């Protein structure tokens, strides 16, 4: 091979590895083995929806690039296994001794029910009536007692009152690994509405750091109250970097990425819908968005005049489907983004609540725009996402 051809081949290979997959194919296997799962590229983008009150943390997230993760899945009649890998220069642990040490963390999210592909829950942990389950793991300092004030030695000693010698040692060793892990299952209908599922059965999680890379494994029931296997099961991934003070909203987020467990027309149609790219005009969409939306929304280099008014859309193209963007424009009340803590930012209220608890967005519906204009705006919004380098 001559040099030019070699270089071209290498460039082509590099760009192939960066092209994110539209879906993940889950292999059917009797025995689920994380080391055999085939991985696909999934892109995650810095979630810019709301600013963080911690200025230091927000500064560390500023100008952050996209993150490429690898994800794969396998399943059998009872369970599903999901593997996520990503590069991280440091193994950051959440510390009990310091409030300033944050752990690298990873979560995967599923709708709790099989919904129409154009009516998926809000990507930021669901929305009213469209709940999600969230499987969350954090890298902790080695011990994480149930009671945060408890001294771990006392905590273990109390539990081991009847054990001595080798038996005690064994018990302590197993307890250490037990308490060392932070992994939990939550259900949510919008960020700040997470409820821990205390009776989650059949869930197993682990995360391991090796040679600058994290490998996280999640095992869950194929079908339970918290998620269902659909023909193409939508999954979203969130990753936090402890070294960047990552926690809560300071994270990378993927869009809904279907896990294909069945062949056939339904899976194909759902995958096409979830990965749809608008064919509208980006240039015209940018013009329309500047005229109609910039009074409230910051969109990349187009800046809103006031902070807290509305979600920052600078990475919205990275973690939203075309169907969601269209719905947000014509029917803002269909999925309302929770917004800021009202006490911290009383002027930044994004919705009102009636006496029955129903939320009405402060965003007007732009349902009077022509369908082609909406397609143009969606095409523009889909370009709003951080690059890789
Ligand atoms: C009067 C202020 C205002 C205007 C004008 C406005 N929006 Fe919004 N928008 C909001 C608020 C507040 C929310 C959050 C509540 C909600 O989800 O509806 C929002 C939410 C959104 C979301 C969901 C964001 C997310 O993080 O998921 C999108 C997308 C969006 N708007 C797009 C637009 C587009 C496109 C336009 C112009 C055609 C526009 N908005 C005009 C106030 C506004």
The residue whose CA is least distant from atom 28 of ligand 1 is: 328
Bridge partners of residue 185, in order along the sequence: 135
Comparison of pLDDT for 238 and 5, the residue scoring more? 238
Contacts of 305 (CB under 8 A, 6+ apart): 295
Contact in structure between 300 and 314 (CB atoms under 8 Å): yes
Contact in structure between 236 and 256 (CB atoms under 8 Å): yes
Average pLDDT over residues 307-333: 95
Q: Are residues 261 and 377 in the same domain?
A: no
**227-260, pLDDT tens digit by residue?**
999 999 999 999 999 888 777 778 899 999 999 9
Q: Are residues 261 and 302 in the same domain?
A: no
Contacts of 81 (CB under 8 A, 6+ apart): 32, 34, 37, 73, 74, 75, 217, 218, 219
| Ramachandran assignment for 163, one of left (phi > 0), alpha (psi -120 to 50 degrees), beta (any other) | beta
Residue 154 pLDDT exceeds 70: no
In a domain, 242, yes or no: yes
Comparison of pLDDT for 366 and 101, the residue scoring more? 366
Q: Are residues 191 and 325 in the same domain?
A: no
Residue 10 pLDDT exceeds 50: no
Q: Are residues 258 and 219 in the same domain?
A: yes
Choosing from 287, 296, 350 the residue with most ligand 1 atoms within 8 A of its CB, the one to mutate for a pocket test is 296
Q: Are residues 231 and 116 in the same domain?
A: yes
Comparison of pLDDT for 75 and 194, the residue scoring more? 75
Q: Residue 191: which pLDDT band, with cuts at 50, 70 and 90?
A: confident
Contacts of 3 (CB under 8 A, 6+ apart): none
Q: Are residues 197 and 309 in the same domain?
A: no
Choosing from 289, 338, 363, 373 the residue with most ligand 1 atoms within 8 A of its CB, the one to mutate for a pocket test is 363
The confidence score (pLDDT) of residue 14 equals 40
In a domain, 297, yes or no: yes
Bridge partners of residue 57, in order along the sequence: none
Choosing from 256, 274, 292, the residue where a domain stops is 274
Average pLDDT, the chain: 85
Q: Residue 291: which pLDDT band, with cuts at 50, 70 and 90?
A: very high
Q: Residue 101: which pLDDT band, with cuts at 50, 70 and 90?
A: confident
The confidence score (pLDDT) of residue 103 equals 87
Lowest mean pLDDT among 23-32, 150-159, 332-341: 150-159
Q: Residue 345: which pLDDT band, with cuts at 50, 70 and 90?
A: confident
Angle at 296 (CA atoms; ends 295, 298), nearest 5 degrees: 100
- Continuous H helices in the chain: 3-18, 55-61, 152-159, 165-180, 265-274, 282-292, 322-330, 371-383
Q: Which helix (H) or strand (E) holds 259?
A: strand 257-260
Residue 276 pLDDT exceeds 50: yes
Q: Say how far apart CA 234 and CA 317 lie, in whole Å.
A: 17
In a domain, 166, yes or no: no
Choosing from 254, 274, 294, the residue where a domain stops is 274
Residue 159 pLDDT exceeds 50: no
The confidence score (pLDDT) of residue 151 equals 41
The confidence score (pLDDT) of residue 256 equals 97
Q: Say how far apart CA 111 and CA 218 lie, in whole Å.
A: 16
Q: Residue 339: which pLDDT band, with cuts at 50, 70 and 90?
A: confident
Angle at 96 (CA atoms; ends 94, 97), nearest 5 degrees: 115
Q: Say how far apart CA 312 and CA 334 lie, in whole Å.
A: 19
Q: Residue 167: which pLDDT band, with cuts at 50, 70 and 90?
A: low
Q: Are residues 269 and 305 in the same domain?
A: no
In a domain, 170, yes or no: no
Contact in structure between 62 and 110 (CB atoms under 8 Å): no
Choosing from 228, 251, 274, the residue where a domain stops is 274
The confidence score (pLDDT) of residue 165 equals 65
The torsion of the CA quartet 7, 12, 14, 17, rounded to 10 degrees, works out to: -160
| 297 CB within 6 A, ligand 1 | yes
At 294, which CATH number?
A: 2.60.40.420
Lowest mean pLDDT among 74-78, 257-261, 337-341: 337-341
For the chain, the domain total comes to 2
Q: Residue 146: which pLDDT band, with cuts at 50, 70 and 90?
A: very low
In a domain, 161, yes or no: no
Contacts of 317 (CB under 8 A, 6+ apart): 381, 382, 383, 384, 385
β 27-28/67-75 pair status: parallel
Comparison of pLDDT for 359 and 218, the residue scoring more? 218
User: Which atom of ligand 1 is closest in space to residue 122's alpha carbon?
Assistant: 27
At 103, which CATH number?
A: 2.60.40.1190
Which domain does 102 fall in, by range? 18-144+181-274
Residue 163 pLDDT exceeds 60: no
Cα-to-centroid distance, 361 and ligand 1 (Å): 8
Question: CA quadruple 56, 191, 187, 193: dihedral positive or negative?
Answer: positive
Contacts of 103 (CB under 8 A, 6+ apart): 92, 93, 94, 138, 139, 140, 141, 182, 240, 242
The residue whose CA is least distant from atom 41 of ligand 1 is: 293
The confidence score (pLDDT) of residue 172 equals 56
| 378 CB within 6 A, ligand 1 | no
In a domain, 3, yes or no: no
């Amino acid at each position: 091979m001559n040099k030019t051809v070699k270089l071209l081949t290498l460039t082509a290979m590099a760009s192939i590895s960066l092209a994110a997959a539209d879906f993940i194919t889950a292999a059917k296997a009797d025995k689920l083995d994380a080391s055999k799962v085939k991985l696909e590229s999934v892109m995650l983008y810095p979630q810019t929806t709301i600013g963080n009150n911690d200025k230091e943390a927000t500064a560390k997230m500023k100008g952050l690039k996209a993150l490429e993760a690898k994800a794969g899945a396998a399943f059998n009649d009872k369970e599903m296994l999901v593997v996520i890998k990503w590069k991280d220069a440091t193994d950051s642990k959440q510390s009990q001794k310091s409030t300033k040490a944050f752990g690298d963390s990873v979560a995967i999210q599923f709708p709790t029910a099989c919904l129409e592909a154009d009516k998926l829950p809000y990507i930021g942990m669901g929305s009213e009536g469209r709940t999600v389950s969230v499987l969350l793991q954090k890298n902790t300092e080695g011990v994480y007692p149930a009671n945060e004030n408890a001294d771990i030695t006392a905590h273990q000693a109390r539990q081991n009152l009847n054990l001595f010698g080798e038996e005690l040692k064994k018990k302590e060793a197993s307890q250490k690994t037990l308490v060392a892990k932070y992994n939990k299952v939550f259900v949510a209908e919008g960020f700040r509405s997470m409820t821990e599922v205390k009776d989650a059965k059949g869930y197993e999680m682990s995360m391991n750091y090796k040679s600058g890379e994290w490998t996280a494994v999640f095992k869950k029931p194929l079908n339970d109250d918290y998620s269902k296997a659909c023909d193409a099961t939508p999954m979203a991934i969130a990753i936090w970097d402890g070294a960047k003070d990552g926690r809560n909203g300071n994270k990378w987020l993927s869009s809904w990425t279907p896990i294909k467990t069945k062949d056939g027309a339904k899976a194909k149609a759902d995958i096409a819908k979830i990965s749809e790219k608008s064919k509208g005009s980006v240039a015209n969409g940018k013009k329309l968005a500047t005229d109609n939306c910039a009074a409230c929304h910051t969109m990349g280099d187009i800046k809103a005049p006031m902070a807290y008014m509305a979600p920052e859309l600078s990475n919205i193209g990275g973690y939203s489907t075309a169907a969601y963007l269209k719905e947000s424009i014509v029917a803002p009340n269909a999925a309302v983004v929770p917004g800021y803590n009202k006490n911290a930012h009383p002027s930044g209220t994004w919705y009102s609540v009636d006496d029955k608890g129903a939320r009405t967005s402060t965003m007007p519906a732009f349902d009077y725009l022509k369908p082609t204009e909406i397609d143009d705006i969606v095409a523009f919004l889909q370009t709003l996402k951080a690059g890789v380098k």
